[in-house]
């Protein structure tokens, strides 16, 4: 099974490669996209991630593949057009993960309603042949029928439009798997400690440490790409010749509620909240995801904590539009992600590309005099275009043999499965569903975790074994946060099954009882940050 993610095999390959064409630092959406674009062009590609794939921002999104309605109001037509095109490519290339989703904007003021209608028609027109569907006006009666929990006072009607929804962390795993099929190598829990330099102060590779064995590696390459998002300045500081990268992290927080608070299969959009952002209420894995906030922080951290004021803001806004008096103890999970807001430098020696208006989702390439390429900003929807831009620049800087990008039409791993089974839990695995179920057939004693009354959201022990063997899951958090998504859906239930997950993983990874106990304790401490209002409930 050489096309699967296998850390031991990748380490063996690392030991036997003298020089790589491209090294990517960072295993989020951007880094994985770059690794896929690079490897699919035929370049010898290595990606190094200090934690698990999509550990930080890339697993904490609003789970939307969208053009960005709010950018129309800012006049950034080009950004919206690009994102809508990429949205269409993603639906075509990853149909097992990306699906069309109906969104509705409630209208309480006719003047605003006309403005929304005009904007959404432009949104629809910009998507062209890749349109997800036609927007239309809905009456007050139709809105109430679709959202029985909405407050109907002063409600005039609403506008329905289409966008996309996905599982961010699962797409990250599939990108990694696709990259491996194209010859790329990826290593998680592998931290870059410094940059290698040669005569002329040009970067010639990295010094990295395997965090599981503490073994250090001196790895040579023709080009190094910094795709570490909010931690880009950390890598930049390793390069003494680099222009400083000024990152202003902005925290976005989401809460997850039981579907009894939001029974509709449609998503709803509150177009303008008190802090000027859009608030989404999106059905997700039989729950409802509500967010997001926009709070500036002083520094970037790997595990950001939801702030009390952010939780209060989301609940107040939600309760303003829905009949419930939702409280903190109704929250099943709350999580935060950091957006890397790029602050321009006045240093003329810096070379910046994509000099667009400084908004949170635009992306920029920064090339230092030593040849380090850093990519900042962007969003999940445009990860492919960002990757293409970065690799094009890498070809130029690293003097690689020029090869065209093929990712516009490259099917993502998992997309070839047949979808007769409408169970999204299994569909997300794509063709691996067959292998996992075969594992169950061979091991009938493998049990099931009954997470929900709805059996379609129960998990099997076979999946845990599969994730360890073939998806490079190394910790309980890797399984419960990013592969099962349970930590993001229900922190309490995630804690409940953590010991069982630890036991299964210990057998697969040849770990002892001490490892199990440390893993469970560490995971419980982490999960408490996702649970409101207090840890005493746990």
Cα–Cα distance between 535 and 48 in angstroms, integer?
35
> What distance in Å separates the CA atoms of residue 205 and residue 531, rounded to the nearest whole number?
41
- Can you tell me the distance from the alpha carbon of 499 to that of 232, in angstroms, rounded to the nearest whole number? 35
Q: Report the 10 Å Cβ neighbour count for 452.
A: 16
What residues pair up with 448 in beta bridges, in sequence order? 460
Which among 505, 530, 534, 507 has a CA at the least distance from the CA of 519? 505
Domain residue spans of the chain: 7-57+171-244+349-409, 68-169+251-339, 424-537
Query: What value does the CA radius of gyration of the chain take, rounded to a whole number of Å?
Result: 23
Report yes or no: 358 and 344 within 8 Å, Cβ to Cβ. Answer: yes
**Size of the chain, expressed as the number of residues it contains:** 538
Q: Count CB neighbours of 266 within 10 A.
A: 17
C-alpha angle 92/93/99, rounded to 5°?
60
Beta bridge partners of 220: 19, 205
Among 342, 398, 389, 401, residue whose Cα is nearest residue 371 = 398
CB 318 within 8 A of CB 326: yes
CATH number (3.30.9.10, 3.40.50.1820, 3.20.20.140, 3.40.50.20) of 68-169+251-339 reads: 3.30.9.10
85, containing H or E segment: helix 77-93
3-class DSSP state of 446 = coil
Residue 532, classed as helix, strand or coil, is: coil
Q: State whether CATH 3.50.50.60 applies to domain 7-57+171-244+349-409.
A: yes
Pair of tokens at residue 161: 């439009």
Distance CA 334, CA 531 (A): 6
pLDDT in tens, the chain (538 residues): 667 999 999 999 999 999 999 999 999 999 999 999 999 999 999 999 999 999 999 999 999 999 888 777 777 788 899 999 999 999 999 999 999 999 999 999 898 889 899 999 999 999 999 999 999 999 999 999 999 999 998 899 999 999 999 999 999 999 999 999 999 999 999 999 999 998 778 899 999 999 999 999 999 999 999 999 999 989 988 997 656 677 778 899 999 999 999 999 999 998 877 767 789 999 999 899 999 888 888 788 889 999 999 999 999 999 999 998 999 999 999 999 998 877 665 444 454 444 323 334 578 899 998 999 999 988 999 999 999 999 999 999 999 999 999 999 999 999 875 554 456 678 888 889 888 888 888 776 666 765 555 444 578 889 999 999 999 999 999 999 999 999 999 999 999 999 999 999 999 999 999 999 999 999 999 999 998 644 333 3
Question: pTM above the 0.75 mark?
Answer: yes
CATH code 1.10.10 for 424-537 = no
**Which residues in 350-444 belong to E strands, given as ranges?**
351-353, 363-367, 373-377
């Amino acid at each position: 099974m050489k096309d699967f993610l296998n850390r031991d095999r990748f380490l063996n390959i690392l030991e036997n490669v003298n020089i790589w064409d491209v090294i990517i630092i960072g295993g989020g959406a951007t880094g994985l996209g770059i690794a896929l674009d690079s490897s699919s062009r035929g370049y010898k590609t290595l990606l190094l991630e200090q934690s698990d794939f999509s550990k930080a921002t890339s697993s904490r999104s609003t789970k939307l593949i969208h053009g960005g309605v709010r950018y129309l109001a800012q006049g950034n037509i080009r950004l919206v057009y690009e994102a809508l095109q990429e949205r269409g490519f993603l639906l075509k290339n990853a149909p097992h993960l990306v699906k069309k989703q109906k969104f509705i904007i409630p209208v309480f003021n006719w003047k605003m309603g006309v403005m929304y209608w005009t904007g959404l028609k432009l949104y629809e027109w910009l998507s062209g042949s890749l349109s997800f569907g036609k927007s239309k006006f809905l009456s007050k009666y139709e809105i109430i029928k679709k959202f029985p929990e909405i407050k109907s006072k002063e409600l005039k009607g609403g506008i329905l439009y289409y966008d996309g929804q996905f599982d961010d962390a699962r797409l990250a795993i599939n990108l990694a798997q696709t990259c491996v099929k194209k010859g790329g190598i990826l290593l998680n829990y592998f931290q870059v400690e410094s940059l290698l330099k040669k005569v002329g102060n040009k970067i010639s590779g990295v010094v990295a440490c395997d965090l599981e064995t503490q073994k250090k590696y001196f790895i040579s390459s023709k080009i190094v790409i910094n795709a570490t998002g909010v931690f880009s300045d950390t890598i930049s500081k390793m390069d003494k010749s680099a222009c400083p990268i000024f990152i202003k992290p902005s925290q976005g927080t989401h809460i997850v509620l039981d579907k009894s608070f939001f029974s509709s299969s449609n998503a709803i959009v509150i177009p303008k909240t008190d802090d000027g952002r859009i608030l989404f209420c999106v059905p997700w894995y039989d729950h409802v995801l509500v967010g997001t906030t926009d709070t500036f922080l002083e520094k970037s951290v790997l595990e950001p904590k939801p702030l009390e004021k952010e939780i209060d803001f989301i609940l107040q806004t939600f309760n303003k539009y829905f009949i419930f008096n939702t409280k903190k103890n109704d929250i099943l999970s709350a999580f935060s992600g950091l957006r890397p807001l790029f602050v321009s430098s006045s240093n003329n020696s810096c070379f910046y590309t994509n000099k667009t208006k400084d908004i949170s989702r635009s992306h920029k390439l920064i090339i230092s005099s030593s040849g380090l390429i850093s990519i900042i900003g962007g969003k999940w929807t445009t990860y492919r275009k960002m990757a293409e831009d970065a690799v094009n620049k890498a070809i130029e800087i690293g003097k690689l043999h020029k090869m065209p990008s093929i990712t516009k039409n490259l099917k993502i791993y998992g997309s070839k499965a047949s979808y007769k089974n409408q169970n999204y839990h299994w569909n997300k695995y794509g063709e691996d569903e067959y292998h996992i179920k075969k594992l169950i057939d061979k091991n009938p004693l493998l049990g099931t975790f009954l997470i929900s009354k709805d059996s379609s959201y129960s998990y099997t022990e076979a999946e845990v074994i599969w994730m360890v063997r073939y998806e490079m899951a190394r910790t309980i958090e890797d399984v419960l946060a990013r592969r099962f998504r349970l930590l993001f859906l229900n922190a309490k239930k995630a804690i409940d099954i953590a010991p069982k997950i630890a036991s299964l993983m210990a057998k697969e990874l040849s770990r002892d009882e001490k490892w199990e106990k440390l893993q469970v304790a560490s995971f419980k401490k982490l999960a408490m940050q996702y649970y409101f209002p207090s840890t005493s409930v746990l």
